[in-house]
Structure formats: C-alpha cells, structure tokens
Structure 1
Amino acid sequence: MKVAIVHDWLTTWAGAEKALAELLNCFPQAEIFTTVNFLEEGAIPALNRHVIHTSFIQRMPWARTRYRQYLPLMPLAVEQFDLKGFDLILSSSHAVAKGVISDPGAVHICYCYSPMRYAWDMQHQYLRQSGKEKGVMSWLMRWQLHRLRQWDYISAQRVDHFIAISNYIKRRIETCYRREAEVIYPPVDVNKFCYDRPREKFYLTASRMVPYKRIDLVIEAFNKMPDKQLIVIGDGPDYAKLALLAGPNVTLMGYQSDKVLIDHLERTQAFIFMAEEDFGILPVEAQAAGAPVIGYGVGGLAETILNNVSGLWIGDQSSSALVEGVEQFEIHMHQNETTFSPEVCRKNAERFTTANFTKAIQSLVKKYFPN
C-alpha cells in the first residue's frame, strides 16, 4: 500500500505536529506533502525517514516568516500535488491539506483539527484583530474569505472519510461541510509524566500568548486574589501586554523547555485553562501529571475533563467566574483531600494515550484495506 500524508504546513512543533508524528509512526512508508517546510533539521525525529514534498509557496519571497499571507494561494498549491499511484491519502488538516486531488481509486481519510475558523465562524473576530473591519482592504479580505469558504466546502466533498479530533469539531464539520465524522482523540504522551510528586501552593497556566487563549482573563482573576500565586509559561505576540497586566503574585516565565513545563505540571496544585479549544492537549497533559484542571467548560475541555472529578468546569469566560471557580476548588480540597486526586486525574488522562490513537487509526484503515 502506497501512502501519502498531507499536512498544511511544517513551521513549528505544536499539537497538530504531535498527531502527525504518530500518523507517521503508523505508516513508516508514507511520503509527506506540505505547502511549506521550515522546520529545523531533526526538530521532529519522526520526519527524518520520510520523503517531504513542498509546494511552490516554499520558494515565494518571505515565505519563511510570512507564509500565512500566502493563504489565498494555498488551495491552488495543494491541488498541484501529484498523488497519482497512492492508495491511501491521509490529510492532517486545519486549513487546506484536505483539498488535495487524488486518484479516483484512492481512499482519502482526513484527520480534521477544525474547519478553517477564520473563514467561517471567526471571520469577524479575524477582521477585527487584523484592523480590517472597514475600508477597501476590509472588503477585499471579506471577498477572499468568501471565496475561501466556497473552496473549503467544495474540497471537503473530495474526502472519503472524516475523522474529528473531538465531538465539538465533529459538530463543526457537520455544520460547515455537511459531512459526518468519526471521533478519534489526538494522541497524548501520558507516560512522560510522573503524577505522584508532592503538590505546591501555586497555580499554573501555559499557552502561546495570543488573544483567544485568554491569558489576560487568567491574570486579571489572580490580580483579584493577591494571596494566591500564579505562574504563566509561554511566549507570543501578547507577552509584553500581559507582563504589564500582571500583579506581584503573578510570575511570567516566558518560553520554557518541555522539561521545565513538565516539572511545573507535576508540582502545581491545579492547571488553569480558560480558552475555548477544539481539543486542548495541555489540559490532558496536566491530568497525566496528576494536576486537576480548572477551566472554561466549553469545547474540547468539556470532553477531556470530568467535572468535579478530574477538574472543575467554569461556566462563563470571565475573570469573576474564574475567581469563583478557584474559591470553589479550594473549598472542595479543604473539605476532602481525596477530591481531584492525582490518581483519578491520571486515570482520566489515560483515555487519550498514543496507543489508543494508533489502534483507532489502524482499525479504520483496515476497513478500507483489509489485506
């Protein structure tokens, strides 16, 4: 069986790339197709043994730092990949990868992280954040997004079988593409965490510092609770603004290695997560490290956290609701020390192991290729 794995772009090591690495482990003979590849050599060891094909965007001016600005050309770029002769096409897609054109006899399975939010339900937020709500440039961008939505829907009909990363995304696929999807949760390396280390009196949040992650909301909440310590790990465009917002009980550590992040996850009394995520790997990793999660109970978090068991759902995305949630968490912990126990958190995280992911993917492929 000849296998092609199509990924939107290779520029960083994040959640989609962790899933890609496991797909490559499932199919060691696969060839990779991607719009651009600007990863440092050896950044993802799983890539080393695979042939990687890139699109014409790889050679465009300033593509290394401004590849996202070529988004209007990416549908054309992925349609130029020559996939003739491949039996199985696996697209790993949150943007354009699913739009490849395959042989009529090939099977195309899409592992979908989400339909393009900026082209669908987040269009107005995208325009607002880019300062393009009004004027000629605004209408030009709206027209481009309109055309992108049309292509996105049409290209979704080329897929034989959709896999969603959560029930939350399954519903979005049904809404945007009018397609059914099977849910296979992303893989999480649970075994790299120790869950029985002593807990310390600090709360932790970690994320890339961009607006939708709502780190500002978390900091505002802890500014209202000066007796509680918050540690923030991560970097991004909003770092300087968030540093100015932080009170004396809030420590911003900036970007840290996996080793430092794991150490803090294993020691924190609870992990804070107030973003509305499609799945959210970090809350699962926190539970794997024995830490309960206090977070916004919408989206993927509602599927990965057991409310009042391995964490606490917050009903409103606001700093005041988070303050109430932290207070409620501490009352529960004071009344019963076994509440939110590290063992229970770890057991819940084990639903999302790489072994479960691999088994589910291979089982699905066998339905199409029984021999």
Structure 2
Amino acid sequence: MNASRDIRIQGIPDTVPEPTAAVCRSRLLTAVNKLIDETGLDNIRITVGDASSFSSFWENINLPGRGDSNQKNRDPELSPEERAKRYEAQQPIFTFKQLVIPEEVEEDLLLAVDLIRLEFKVFDEWGLRKIEPFPRTALNFHGKPGTGKTLAAHAIASKINRPILVASYAQIESMYHGEGPKNVEAIFLAAERDNALLFIDEADSLLSKRLTNVTQGSEQAINSMRSQLLICLEQFRGVVIFSTNLVENYDKAFETRVRNINFPMPDETCRREIWKRHLVEELPIAEDVSIEKLAQIEDVCGRDIKNAIIDASMRAARQDKEEIGISEFLDSVDRIKKARINVTSEPMQLTPKEKEEVAEKVKAAIAKKEQETTS
C-alpha cells in the first residue's frame, strides 16, 4: 500500500461522533488504497448515497474513465468462459491442524469432507447420478467475525487436496446493469475449470431475501444475481462454501440447498489453545503471563486474540521493554473490545429477573393510572 497518496475523505456530518467518524475514515482509506493497488487506477472519486439520487448524479458528472473507454471495460460481449478467465484459484493457505474449533463443529466439517470424498462411490458406482446428475456439496458457514469461517474453508480445501477460489460480493457486483449475473456464472465456471473449492464470502449480500415491488434498476440487478446464483448452484458439480456474519438475512429458498454450520465464539478450552498457539516461543513473555488466566477472558475470538498479541508486542517494543507482561495482554484485549462497533439486528433478551422487574413496573403504572381516573 502506498502511504504517500493524498486521499481526501469529506462529507461526514459533524453530528457523527468523532470515534465513529474516525473508524469510518480509516476503513475507507484502507479500502480505497487496496482498490487502487489492485486495479492500477490513478484517479478515483467515490460517492455514497441512496439509489434514487444516483441516476441524475451520474448523468451530469464527468469523471476520468467515463465515456467510450469505460464502455470498453464493460466487455458486455464476453462469453462466460472468457469472463471466467478473470478468476483464478489458489492453493489453500491453512490446514486442519491450524483450526481451533469446538469438537461438534469439527465433526460437522469432517462429515462434509467425507461426503466430498465418497461422491464417486455413491453417485457413480451406486448409480445415484441417475436421479441427481449434478451432485454437489454446498455448505454455509455462519457466525460472528473472527470465529474461523475463512480458515475452515481453506482447511477443507487442503483436506480434499483441491485449490480454493475465493470470491466476495464486491468482486461479483458490477456498476453495469446485467453484469452481476454474468459474473456469478463466470465464478462457478472458473471453479469447475480449476476443480476448485468455491468460497463465497459476504454471502448474505447475495443470498438475502429477494426484493419485491422492485422499482430501481439496482434492485433488479440484485434480484437477477440471486436468481442466477440459484441456477448455478443447481448445476454446479463441485464444492461451494458460503460464509456470512448475518445468516438471519438469508432467503428461505437457499436454506434447503445448503448444509448450515455455525461457528460459535470459542469456549475456554478453545481460547486456551488459541492463546497457546499464538504465543510463539520467540516472544519475550514475562513470568507473570499465564495462559490459563488469559483463556478465562470471555467474548474474544481467534482474531481478537491474535490482534491482542500483536498489539501488546508492538506497544512493548515501542517502549523498549525487554518482556511482555500479563498487564500488556489484558490492556490490549480491553482496547480491542472497546473499539468494536456493535450492531445487532435482534433485540436484547431480558433476564428472568429483568422481566419480573419490568412486569412489576407495568403493574404499578396501571394501578397508578386507575387510581388517578377514579379520583
């Protein structure tokens, strides 16, 4: 990433709290730098707004890259096979040995591996291809960020000795109407071409409930991508894994087409193993550091633990410390927790005691209202 780029971010309202605005600016800078690095673009302007404001905006604005050259980049006449050349599989970078998950989740993953391994015997030798010409293994990994979903996809690819083709919604979506469904088809073709495990991240954007009463072109494009995904999934002869942090947004039509595997936050046993693996032997750890005590810290995932170790190490090095003590690790975990932006789609559940207190308050309010009415 080129740190010398002069990228400006303007327009965040003053009413937005500065901590939230700072996080937004940081993430935008990271995403834009990555986009420029991967595409080689020299100049880019990104506008955020609701869909209704964009039709008139794009008709009146003239940006570098628009016009005939932009139309050429669209490549509307490319065949699905030619379009598939844009996507290449890679060798998996994680194995099952690196995966720390509860036993029941590991058992579900190993069962999925066995289903893949036994495909030829069941469908060819035992003749089930007559009733299912396109056997496939479709898994859906869901759970909070950092719980091991991506690592598990790589681990399965490694276990079945196949490359992995990683795709996200951002790679499939297109600003051009009609391009998204073609990209969906191309990704599945590329996976079949390379005999690769197809891993689709941010899948809730593709598999969420289809829109009704469609009025905007962008909404029509989203529905088209989802329809194309259903078609490709039915015809795909291979392994596809979807991953999401927002499984509650899924369309019911997809639930019977995938095997769902939940990745929970690690329990104390898993946290102990994760801390143990990440505290490498070269790290100058003080005598007061106890893995048992660190494992007792709740509400942290594997990613949190890794980031806490890196954060504590960097801070200790900046302060010219010779060792990293337990307090540094605890402080780093605390900072990571406080920096989270919590967005929950479900209402907070009350404890039995809280429900009882609420009921008593409601009764008291009703009694007071009745007393005021009679008097």
TM exceeding 0.5: no
Q: Which has the higher contact order (CA 8 A, sep 6+)?
A: 2
Larger C-alpha radius of gyration, 1 or 2? 2
TM-score by length of 2: 0.28
- TM-score, normalised to structure 1, is 0.29
